């Protein structure tokens, strides 16, 4: 009897949906110990309660990542990521969140997929898109924060009488 894995549950952040069949054995890639540290004990995994910035990104391979933020004084006070996909996606989410935690928003927006790959000691070419997924989802979460702030400011401005 063959077992199947239901990847629709949000409570399973390490779903292996086998778009990356080589991930189970890491395909003999020569990976840095920093990669394994992020993959085995990811930083900031989970969900920020009552986030003021949130986004869900879907990578070119079908992997997903949710990023939630708590922003105060233009600084990322707390960041969490919830990856759904391969071990590379988990490691990239960890590295991204580690690199921007406590940073100003403009610094976080300057983060590149190459920065994430460097933090992991490098990534194989066929998994660089996982770093892009992490960085792009971070950018969307920051954009969500700005939309919330600007939306609240616009509502407050509309409530004032102009002379």
What is the residue extent of each domain of the chain? 33-156
Phi, psi of 86 (to 5 degrees): -80, 170
Other beta carbons within 10 Å of 160: 7
Other beta carbons within 10 Å of 22: 14
Distance of CA 102 to the CA centre of its chain: 15
Question: How far is it, in rounded angstroms, from Cα 105 to Cα 161?
Answer: 32
For domain 33-156, which CATH number applies: 3.30.200.20, 1.10.3210.10, 3.90.1010.10, 3.90.1200.10? 3.90.1010.10
Two structure tokens written together for 70: 């708590």
Other beta carbons within 10 Å of 135: 25
* pLDDT value of residue 30: 81
Q: How far is CA 108 from CA 8, 72, 104, 114, 162, in A?
A: 30, 14, 6, 14, 36
pLDDT digits (tens), the chain, 163 positions: 323 222 333 333 344 343 444 443 455 568 999 999 999 999 999 999 999 999 999 999 999 999 999 999 999 999 999 999 999 999 999 999 999 999 999 999 999 999 999 999 999 999 999 999 999 999 999 999 999 888 876 666 665 554 4
The vertex-77 CA angle with 131 and 141, nearest 5°, equals 45
* pLDDT value of residue 1: 34
């Amino acid at each position: 009897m063959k077992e199947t894995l239901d990847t629709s549950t949000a409570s399973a952040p390490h779903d292996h949906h086998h778009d990356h069949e080589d991930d189970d054995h890491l395909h003999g890639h020569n990976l840095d110990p920093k990669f394994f540290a992020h993959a085995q004990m990811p930083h900031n995994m989970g969900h920020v309660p009552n986030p003021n910035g949130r986004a869900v990104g879907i990578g070119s391979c079908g992997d997903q990542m949710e990023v939630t933020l708590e922003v105060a004084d233009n600084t990322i006070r707390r960041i969490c990521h919830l990856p759904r996909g391969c071990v590379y996606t988990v490691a990239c989410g960890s590295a991204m969140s580690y690199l921007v935690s406590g940073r100003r928003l403009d610094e976080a927006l300057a983060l590149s997929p190459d920065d994430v790959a460097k933090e992991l000691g490098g990534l194989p070419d066929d998994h660089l898109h996982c770093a892009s997924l992490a960085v792009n989802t971070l950018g969307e979460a920051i954009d969500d924060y700005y939309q919330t702030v600007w939306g609240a400011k616009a509502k407050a401005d509309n409530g004032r009488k102009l002379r």
